[in-house]
Amino acid sequence: MEPIVVTYHQDSRPTLKRPILVEGLPGVGNVGKLAAELVVDQLKAEPFATIHSRYFPPQVIVDDSGIIALVSNRLYLSRQPGPHDLLFLVGDYQGLTPEGQYELADCVLALAKGLGVERVYTLGGYGIGRMVEEPKVLGATTSAALVAEMRAAGVLFPEGEPGSGIVGASGLLLGLGRMRAIEGVCLMGQTSGYFVDPKSAGALLTILCPLLGITVDLADLEAKAAQIDVITSRIREIEGGETSQRSREDLHYIG
């Protein structure tokens, strides 16, 4: 079996209108995953390709009816009335090893390049180690022109952040994309880093959707965020105003 196997659900080389790729795989606070999956659902984007790989865990997911599916990454396609059709990369896992991360990102970019993708947005969380009421959206890009464009859209570029760079698919799709002349933007929603963070995903979409020329309903994310707020408030009460390290860890696992 090949290290990476791509299965197409439709024509593997459709004619697309200057497509843009949006990546939202699992990561810090699952911010990118929550954001991308909500857009895929609301745009009713169609399954385009499924990626299986020995770089993923050797695992199947079982759905509520008892039917299994091998863990995967998935590409969805949404044709848009505006100037850019949209592709979305979502999935159960990122590659488990550095080698796997590089190979998977390279595979997605080769596929994207073949479809004429001009730009990639990668979505993620930016863990800041404390609760955040109004999460801001930070950015990193492949060019100065894109920095300017993103600043105008409300994205922040604080000097020295993120100091540790960007690890995983959100970083590699930009770094390797640049080598293929695909421009890229990473959008990072501030998040505590301790649990799944729908509020941060909402903040991210508030910036992203105008950039993509789409509108989505954030009610679902807001409802989930409210649930999380209730849990964290309760913990704060118990702990006397401050969330202890221990409770944060609990929340992380609840999350």
List of residues contacting a second copy (CB under 8 A): 1, 3, 5, 7, 52, 54-62, 64-71, 95-96, 98-99, 101-103, 105-106, 139-144, 147, 157, 159-162, 165-169, 171-172, 174-176, 178-179, 184, 186
Quote the least distance from Cβ 137 to a second copy, whole Å. 13
Considering beta carbons, is residue 234 or 246 the nearer one to a second copy?
Answer: 246
Considering beta carbons, is residue 15 or 97 the nearer one to a second copy?
Answer: 97
Question: What's the sign of the alpha-carbon dihedral 169, 174, 175, 177?
Answer: positive
Residue whose C-alpha is closest to residue 19's, from 213, 188, 217, 207: 213
Quote the least distance from Cβ 80 to a second copy, whole Å. 27
Considering beta carbons, is residue 83 or 163 the nearer one to a second copy?
Answer: 163
Quote the least distance from Cβ 173 to a second copy, whole Å. 9
Burial of 228 (0-12, 13-18, 19+ CB in 10 A): middle
Eight-class DSSP state of 89: E
Considering beta carbons, is residue 58 or 240 the nearer one to a second copy?
Answer: 58
Residue whose C-alpha is closest to residue 214's, from 23, 26, 36: 36
CB atoms within 10 A of CB 122: 29
Quote the least distance from Cβ 215 to a second copy, whole Å. 27
Quote the least distance from Cβ 69 to a second copy, whole Å. 7
Question: What's the sign of the alpha-carbon dihedral 224, 228, 233, 234?
Answer: positive
